[in-house]
A and B are shown apart, each in its own frame.
Chain A
Amino acid sequence: MNEGLVAFVRSIIAFFLLLIYARFLGKKQISQLTLFDYVLGITIGSMAASLSIDLSSRMWPHWVALTTWTAAGLAIDFLTTKSKFAAKCIEGEPTIIIMNGVILEDNMRKLRYDASNLLQQLRSKDIFDLSEVHFAVLEPNGELSVLKKPELQPVTPKDMNIPVPKTGLGIELIYDGIVVDLNLKQINRDHYWLMSELKKFGVKDPSEVFLATYEASGSLYVDKYKDRIKKPIIVGDFKGPY
């Protein structure tokens, strides 16, 4: 038995299976995961690793276990989407910790959440004075959401009656030297328009451009491969081996 070859083949299979299953499980950010989602991810990863390297057992039981856990995770996600009751039981719900500036100790006790945890999370949100907090909510994923008192919230252009220009999402027109025709069509423009705009930036061919985006204001942002910056600033403070 060639163990290296077997490990290689099983690893390739485990890798692609994990890729597909992770795609199925959805695209929540790490910060949005509940404790259970996190543990599920670790467990599934561990099973994929076993499938890859545990040559002392057959591949099939590992495959079944991996698929079962993924299917169960998907089923729970579906259930929590369809049923509010199930979502509350399985994922929990947000709990108010501070209400109108007052700490709710009973809620904290129920969650086994103490004052030091609260102060730590407030500090991570740059709040060092408890009197600034109007509401604080502990989310199911353990994050603390904070609403400051109205008089302490940052001023917005609306408060000052300042008109603001229209904003929107930038659309990529050139990505890594290649023109994105679909996006060009989306903004009702063609290659002739693009080339005429690029000429203003001294660009003769789209292959010279690393990234070009069409902003909501109607302007074009162009970054060329050949930058004017010859020597970038070295951010590190230690010379190092390189």
Chain B
Amino acid sequence: MRKFFVIFAPIVIIAISIIVALSGTFLKKPMKGWDNVPEHMEITTKAIMADDWALAELSESKLETAWKTVIKRIQFSGERDEMHELTVSIFRLKASITSKDKSSALMELSEAREHWDGLCK
């Protein structure tokens, strides 16, 4: 029994460390439906292209909420700088939507998309 534990415990610890290290890729995916970050980015982009600022503001707000949820899940395996950059992009996007600056908003969305794709890769 002791021998089993002595062999089993290190294997379990190593397995847990691998799972935590690679968990980001899996935990990025939406789990609750409303935490789908790429989908909210897509909706926001379409709203801005169509000059529907009310929808853009609403979907940006949902994007923010979704991101705050996802970041808590992926923080153990992801890069801090990448997460921070994405957070900053989302806040800049918020300001761009408020000021109805289409080009700036689209640039921020593009940047945010890039940060999202690079996260936990």
* Residues on A facing B (Cβ under 8 Å): 1-3, 5-6, 9-10, 13, 16-17, 20, 23, 55-60, 63
Partner of B120, one of A3, A6, A23, A58: A58
Question: How far in angstroms is the closest Cβ of chain A from B40?
Answer: 19
Closest to B11 in A: A20
With contact pairs A58-B21, A59-B20 given, residues A3 and B13 touching in the complex (Cβ less than 8 Å): no
Residues of B within 8 A of A5 (CB): 75
With contact pairs A17-B13, A17-B17, A20-B13 given, residues A56 and B77 touching in the complex (Cβ less than 8 Å): no
Residues of B within 8 A of A59 (CB): 20-21, 76-77
A-B contact count (CB 8 A): 50
Question: How far in angstroms is the closest Cβ of chain A from B37?
Answer: 15
* Residues on B facing A (Cβ under 8 Å): 10, 13-14, 16-18, 20-22, 24, 71-72, 75-81, 83-84, 120
Q: Are B21 and A63 in contact (CB under 8 A)?
A: yes
Q: List 17 A-B contacts (CB under 8 A).
A: A1-B80, A3-B80, A6-B75, A6-B80, A9-B76, A13-B16, A17-B13, A17-B17, A55-B79, A55-B80, A56-B79, A56-B80, A58-B21, A58-B24, A58-B77, A59-B76, A63-B21
Instruction: Give the distance in Å from the alpha carbon of A9 to the alpha carbon of B22 in the complex.
Output: 14
Closest to B121 in A: A58
- By secondary structure, the A interface counts as helix
Question: How far in angstroms is the closest Cβ of chain A from B79?
Answer: 5
Partner of B81, one of A2, A20, A56, A60: A56
- By secondary structure, the B interface counts as helix
Residues of B within 8 A of A63 (CB): 17-18, 21
> What 4 A-B pairs come out closest when comparing CB atoms?
A55-B80, A60-B21, A59-B21, A20-B10
Question: How far in angstroms is the closest Cβ of chain A from B94?
Answer: 19
Q: Are B20 and A9 in contact (CB under 8 A)?
A: yes
Q: Are B75 and A60 in contact (CB under 8 A)?
A: no
Residues of A within 8 A of B14 (CB): 17, 20
Residues of A within 8 A of B79 (CB): 55-58
Question: How far in angstroms is the closest Cβ of chain B from A42?
Answer: 21
Question: How far in angstroms is the closest Cβ of chain B from A59?
Answer: 4
Residues of A within 8 A of B77 (CB): 58-60
Q: Are B84 and A1 in contact (CB under 8 A)?
A: yes
Q: Are A2 and B21 in contact (CB under 8 A)?
A: no
With contact pairs A6-B76, A9-B76, A58-B120 given, residues A1 and B17 touching in the complex (Cβ less than 8 Å): no
Residues of A within 8 A of B76 (CB): 6, 9-10, 59
Residues of B within 8 A of A57 (CB): 79
Instruction: Give the distance in Å from the alpha carbon of A13 to the alpha carbon of B15 in the complex.
Output: 11
Instruction: Give the distance in Å from the alpha carbon of A20 to the alpha carbon of B72 in the complex.
Output: 29
Instruction: Give the distance in Å from the alpha carbon of A76 to the alpha carbon of B11 in the complex.
Output: 22
Residues of A within 8 A of B24 (CB): 58
Question: How far in angstroms is the closest Cβ of chain A from B15?
Answer: 11
Residues of B within 8 A of A60 (CB): 21-22, 77
Instruction: Give the distance in Å from the alpha carbon of A172 to the alpha carbon of B83 in the complex.
Output: 56
